[in-house]
């Protein structure tokens, strides 16, 4: 393959010297995404979890025929419950014919994909790996609704919430109800998030839904846990998305477009929303975002797009506000006015997000990163954000119990 040097252009990014833990000087390396692979999100009754992982992984690796991973990391939430299969790292590496390399699964509830990418990033950054395959996967549709609900509830405390009948939807409904009460936000404004997500998904090939919805559709859809309605919620689905992360040395040997991961940060919150000082502050998102901004040198106003964890309409609003990208109580109104549309000031969920692309929970973080790669490599087709040079992803496990934030920039 034709070798080349990764670009040193800043693309408006104010690069800081690499810093280690607690700000100590570091000799850490640059990390790039060199290729991605996606399975179309939806129902795949004909595919097992290994089939999903392999299809996405082969899609990513096919762009790099001369590169072989020296590490495999799988992001997944509940394969043991969902399909009776654990040990996914070894299963994937064996299925691909790789032997003798580190291969394992990373779990952080719905943030598993982002946490897996963070793990791979650290390995390349520290010089332990030169080429890492990261695959997020979830097989959800083989379970009935009650079992999916039970599996998702594992993202919170079994002893203090699930044992008394609280579900993941009902926990988010608590924050949704408090948000509407505190800020007096019209329900029509909150509905702008799913309306926009479905609009973006119309032209997204790998998205689950290709149907536009209106605010009236959202507000008249069935109540799931008041005030959350069906069209406020992301769907149950199957999917897998893969990334190949490479070092700067390896990047010189590939000819595919490169996207640099300028920062990768993960933070945890107080586990129960009932013990937090303010349930409407996503403290994990806030901490990961601040560290990512500091490490990358990217000022928030320089972001060209954001892939947020929009599992529910309320998570979109609280994510944007906790990162300071919207004032408190104003994100829904800004969404209704078009600020976050594809042609807005800060496009979000550019391929439909979790809401309309779909939310195969353990894979959602890798779908976000793959979509960010497509944007920054100029391969987003009709969903392309014009002039995109810098983007961010935010992937959440639980109700902001664990959040991974990545800031990325075009390296071409």
For residue 229, give both structure tokens: 């309605």
Section 121-145 average pLDDT: 97
Return the pLDDT at 15.
Answer: 47
Token pair 């020296």 in the structure block, residue: 70
Query: Using 50, 70 and 90 to split pLDDT, how confident is the model at 166?
Result: confident
Q: 24-143+235-410: which CATH topology?
A: Peroxisomal Thiolase; Chain A, domain 1 (3.40.47)
Q: Which of 44, 198, 359, 406 is catalytic?
A: 359
For residue 212, give both structure tokens: 């536009």
Section 67-94 average pLDDT: 97
Section 313-325 average pLDDT: 98
Gyration radius from the chain CA atoms = 20
For residue 111, give both structure tokens: 């943030």
Please spell the DSSP secondary structure of 111-135, one letter per residue: THHHHHHHHHHHHHHTTS-SEEEEE
Return the pLDDT at 2.
Answer: 44
Q: What are the CA-CA distances from residue 72 to residues 130, 135, 155, 256 (Å)?
A: 12, 8, 24, 20
C-alpha to C-alpha distance for 213 and 197, rounded to whole angstroms:
9
C-alpha to C-alpha distance for 190 and 196, rounded to whole angstroms:
11
Query: Using 50, 70 and 90 to split pLDDT, how confident is the model at 1?
Result: very low
Q: What are the CA-CA distances from residue 302 to residues 174, 265, 339 (Å)?
A: 33, 18, 15
Q: Which of 110, 131, 237, 309 is catalytic?
A: 110
CA 326 to chain centre: 20
Return the pLDDT at 18.
Answer: 45
Instruction: Give residues with Cβ within 8 angstroms of 24, minimum separation 6.
Output: none
pLDDT, one tens digit per residue, over 222-231 is 999 999 999 9
Section 291-300 average pLDDT: 97
pLDDT, one tens digit per residue, over 9-49 is 445 444 444 444 344 444 689 999 999 999 999 999 999 99
- Does pLDDT of 277 surpass 90? yes
pLDDT, one tens digit per residue, over 181-226 is 999 999 999 999 999 999 999 999 999 999 999 999 999 999 999 9
Return the pLDDT at 401.
Answer: 97
Return the pLDDT at 23.
Answer: 47
CB atoms within 10 A of CB 150: 17
Inter-residue contact 241 to 60 (CB < 8 Å): no
Q: What are the CA-CA distances from residue 144 to residues 140, 158, 274, 355 (Å)?
A: 9, 20, 29, 20
pLDDT, one tens digit per residue, over 357-399 is 999 999 999 999 999 999 999 999 999 999 999 999 999 999 9
- Does pLDDT of 402 surpass 80? yes
Residue ranges of domains in the chain: 24-143+235-410
Q: What is the mean pLDDT of the chain?
A: 93
Inter-residue contact 331 to 77 (CB < 8 Å): no
pTM: 0.94
The verdict on whether 237 is a catalytic residue reads no
CA 49 to chain centre: 19
Return the pLDDT at 17.
Answer: 44
CB atoms within 10 A of CB 345: 12
pLDDT, one tens digit per residue, over 97-126 is 999 999 999 999 999 999 999 999 999 999
CB atoms within 10 A of CB 176: 26
For residue 90, give both structure tokens: 């070894």
For residue 61, give both structure tokens: 């690796």
Q: Strand, coil or helix: what is 315? A: helix
- Does pLDDT of 4 surpass 80? no
CB atoms within 10 A of CB 98: 17
Return the pLDDT at 111.
Answer: 98
Inter-residue contact 358 to 52 (CB < 8 Å): no
The verdict on whether 406 is a catalytic residue reads no
CB atoms within 10 A of CB 287: 18
Token pair 């291969």 in the structure block, residue: 103
| CA nearest to 404, candidates 53, 30, 143, 114 | 114
């Amino acid at each position: 393959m034709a070798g080349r040097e990764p670009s040193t252009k800043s693309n408006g990014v104010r690069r800081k010297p690499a810093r280690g833990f607690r700000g100590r000087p570091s000799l850490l390396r640059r990390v790039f995404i060199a290729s991605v692979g996606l399975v179309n999100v939806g129902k795949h009754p004909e595919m097992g979890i290994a089939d999903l992982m392999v299809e996405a992984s082969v899609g990513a690796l096919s762009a790099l025929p001369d590169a072989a991973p020296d590490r495999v990391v799988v992001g997944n939430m509940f394969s043991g419950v969902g399909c009776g299969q654990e040990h996914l790292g070894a299963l994937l590496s064996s299925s691909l014919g790789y032997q003798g390399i580190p291969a394992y699964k990373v779990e952080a509830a719905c943030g598993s994909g982002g946490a897996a990418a963070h793990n791979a990033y650290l390995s390349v950054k520290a010089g332990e790996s030169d080429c890492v395959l990261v695959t997020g996967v979830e097989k959800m549709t083989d379970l009935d609704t009650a079992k999916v609900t039970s599996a998702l509830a594992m993202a919170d405390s079994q002893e203090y919430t699930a044992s008394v009948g609280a579900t993941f939807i009902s926990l988010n409904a608590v924050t949704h109800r408090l948000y509407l009460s505190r800020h007096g936000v019209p329900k029509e404004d909150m509905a702008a998030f799913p309306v926009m997500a479905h609009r973006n998904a119309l032209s997204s090939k790998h998205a689950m839904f290709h149907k536009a919805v209106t605010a009236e559709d959202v507000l008249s859809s069935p109540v799931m846990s008041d005030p959350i309605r069906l069209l406020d919620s992301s769907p149950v689905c199957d999917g897998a998305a893969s990334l190949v992360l490479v070092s700067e040395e390896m990047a010189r040997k590939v000819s595919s477009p490169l996207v640099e991961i300028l920062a990768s940060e993960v933070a945890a919150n107080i586990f129960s929303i009932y013990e937090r000082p303010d349930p409407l502050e996503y403290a994990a998102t806030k901490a990961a975002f601040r560290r990512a901004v500091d490490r990358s040198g990217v000022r928030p106003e320089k972001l060209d797009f954001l892939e947020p964890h929009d599992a529910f309409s309320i998570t979109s609003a609280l994510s944007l506000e906790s990162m300071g990208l919207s004032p408190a109580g104003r994100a829904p109104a800004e969404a209704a006015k078009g600020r976050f549309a594809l042609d807005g000031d800060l496009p979000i969920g550019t391929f439909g997000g979790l809401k309309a692309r779909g939310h195969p929970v353990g894979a959602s973080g890798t779908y976000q990163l793959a979509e960010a790669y497509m944007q920054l490599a100029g391969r987003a087709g009709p969903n392309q954000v014009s002039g995109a040079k810098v983007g961010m992803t935010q992937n959440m496990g639980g109700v902001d119990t664990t959040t991974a934030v990545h800031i990325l920039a075009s390296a071409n």
